[in-house]
Amino acid sequence: MQPAVGPRKSAISFDYCTTKPNVPFYHTHSLYEVYYFHAGKCSYLIGDKIYILAPGDLILMYGMTLHGANADPSVPYARSIVHFEPALLSPFLSVPNAVDLLQPFRELRNYRISLSGADKEEVERLLAGMNEHSAKQSPAGVFRMQLAFIDLLAILFEKCSRITVGDDHQEGSPDKEQIVQRVLDFIEAHYSCDIHLGELEAELHFSKSYLAKLFKDVTGMTIFDYLYRRRINQARTLFQRDPRRSVTDVSLETGFKHLAHFCRMFKSHTGETPQSYRRAIRGR
């Protein structure tokens, strides 16, 4: 990790072409994210969509959507990741002829762009420049790193301006990923209900054991791991929308039959109880 140095240390953080081993970790955060895939073999789950990545793929992410990578450990895996606070862009949005660089994140939320040729070379050049500037550990270096990042966002803004909202860019997925996508679609439509593997078997016409193994192979986690993460993420969203909502109501709305089970799973995934999470939001 090579975080920016200077008066706004928390505004942007940057991992350049990191090759450290990947452990499947599905998570959310309040920051926006730009993820660039350099090399390897990797499936990337964002919300209820799964993407099979190719070198040159870049993903824009609205961090509060559950997301994470599952890379094949037998193949070297390299990626660059930028996390940033939207407020970082405020000074750059008020200059003459500025464009709204946050618009793609707001409107597309999460989107993969497949880069090739000159576009791929330019993005990789900017990422390398960001790394070179941030390594200087000086105010000027940090500023130049931020300017390079603004240039990168401007390129992405131009490319995204030609995208139709709803185009999820998943054509050509292999059969096994298509089956896992059908599992994800089913969970997305029924996560607040009492889901059993038998229902998936009947809906998709594959055996429970086959679906369970395939899902784990592609995503790195079990079907029920994903289901609970999806439910807890929805609970967090409901609390953020209305912190006056009762814990019991949110528990039932997100598919938990028993309040104690909801509280236990919430703390396991977030590190705090739903009551303390709700109090923290109300105290802001």
Task: Report the candidate in 10, 7, 14 with the shortest Cα–Cα distance to residue 130.
Answer: 14
Tokens of 55: 């070198």
The HSE-up count of residue 233 (CA atoms within 13 Å, CB side) is 21
Q: In the sheet where 42-46 sits, what is the strand order?
A: 49-52, 42-46, 67-71
Residue 175 pLDDT: 87
d(CA 188, CA 230): 8
- Residue 105 has a pLDDT of 93
pLDDT in tens, 157-209: 999 987 765 555 454 455 888 999 999 999 999 999 999 999 999 999 999 99
Identify whether residues 156 and 242 lie together within a single domain.
no
| Residue 22: predicted pLDDT | 80
Which residue, 129, 160, 191, sits at the end of a domain?
160
In the DSSP assignment, the letter for residue 88 is G
- Return the DSSP state at 276: H
Q: What are phi and psi of 254, to 5 degrees?
A: -100, 10
Helix (H) or strand (E) holding 43: strand 42-46
pLDDT tens, residue by residue, 141-157 = 999 999 999 999 999 99
Domain count, the chain: 2
Is residue 111 within 8 A of residue 44, CB to CB? The reply is no
Structure tokens at 215: 């899902």
- Residue 238 in any domain: the answer is yes
Q: Which two tokens stand for residue 210?
A: 């086959």
User: pTM above the 0.85 mark?
Assistant: no
With tokens 């802001």, the residue in question is 284
Report whether pLDDT(24) > 80: no
Final residue of a structural domain among 137, 160, 183: 160
89 confidence band (pLDDT: 50, 70, 90): confident
Q: What pLDDT score was predicted for residue 173?
A: 53
Give the rounded distance of the alpha carbon of 280 from its chain centre. 24
Are 54 and 93 members of one domain? Answer: yes
Residues 35 and 97 in one domain: yes
Query: What's 129's domain CATH number?
Result: 2.60.120.280
232-270: pLDDT as tens digits? 999 999 999 999 999 999 999 999 999 999 999 999 999
Domain check: are 151 and 183 in the same one?
Answer: no
What is the residue-averaged pLDDT of the chain? 89
Are 117 and 249 in the same domain? Answer: no
Local confidence band at 21 (pLDDT 50, 70, 90 cut-offs): confident
Q: In which domain, by residue range, is 252 found?
A: 175-282
Place of tokens 């390079």: 148
Q: What is the pLDDT of residue 159?
A: 92
How many CA within 13 A on the CB side of residue 230? 24
Distance CA(25)–CA(192), nearest Å, equals 23
